[in-house]
Amino acid sequence: MIISRPKRQTIFSLGIFTMVILVGLVYFWKQILTMEEVAIWRYIVAVILLISATLLLHKLIFNYKVLKISHDQVHIYYPFRFYKSVQDIKSLGAWQEIVIDTSKKKDAKKTEYKQLKLVFVNKGFVKISNQENSEYDKVYKYIKRKAPKKEVKD
């Protein structure tokens, strides 16, 4: 059984960043409410912080997914959405791996961002990446072994 879930360091870093943004948002709202004359840029910064915090909280909470693969079935579970789906490998319509080279210099260590997208015939798709999810390589090898003809190439 392969279990792929978000890495702890990803959740931790996004959580810390979200908390910093929320503290900044509270600070700006406190300043806006206590001042008699408020500059327009303070409102703009507060709105930008509010949008950023909302997007990060959405990513943290609603995009948290657990992918379990065993016995030719893919179990997709979103715990905060209360959504669970079980798909057979046979119902996999297509899959694609996207690889982006992220190394800055030619002499530097080769780093790659990899994203695997699984599209099912009847119920949508799921994406996982090597930097955000654990067991990415095992999921990729399993899908490549079980459904090689359904791979979509660029």
Q: Which domain holds residue 92?
A: 88-150
- Tally the C-alpha atoms within 13 A of residue 68's C-alpha that lie toward its C-beta: 9
In which band, very low, low, confident or very high, does the pLDDT at 47 lie, cut at 50, 70 and 90?
A: very high
pLDDT of residue 153: 83
pLDDT of residue 78: 92
Q: pLDDT averaged over the chain?
A: 90
Count of domains for the chain: 2
Q: Is residue 79 part of a domain?
A: no
pLDDT digits (tens, 9 = 90+) for 83-130: 999 999 989 999 999 998 887 766 667 788 999 999 999 878 999 999
CA-CA distance, 95 to 93, in Å (whole number)? Answer: 7
In which band, very low, low, confident or very high, does the pLDDT at 38 lie, cut at 50, 70 and 90?
A: confident
Give yes or no for a contact between 136 and 116, defined as CB atoms under 8 angstroms apart: yes
Whether 108 and 144 map to the same domain: the answer is: yes
pLDDT of residue 124: 85
Whether 146 and 95 map to the same domain: the answer is: yes
Mean pLDDT of 69-85: 92
CA-CA distance, 100 to 51, in Å (whole number)? Answer: 28
pLDDT of residue 123: 73
What is the number of other CB atoms lying within 10 angstroms of the CB of residue 28?
Answer: 20
Q: Of 16, 44, 62, which one is at a domain's C-terminal end?
A: 62
Q: Is a pLDDT exceeding 80 seen at residue 59?
A: yes
Q: Is residue 74 part of a domain?
A: no
Whether 93 and 55 map to the same domain: the answer is: no
pLDDT of residue 154: 73
In which band, very low, low, confident or very high, does the pLDDT at 56 lie, cut at 50, 70 and 90?
A: very high
Q: Of 62, 80, 100, which one is at a domain's C-terminal end?
A: 62
Whether 54 and 7 map to the same domain: the answer is: yes
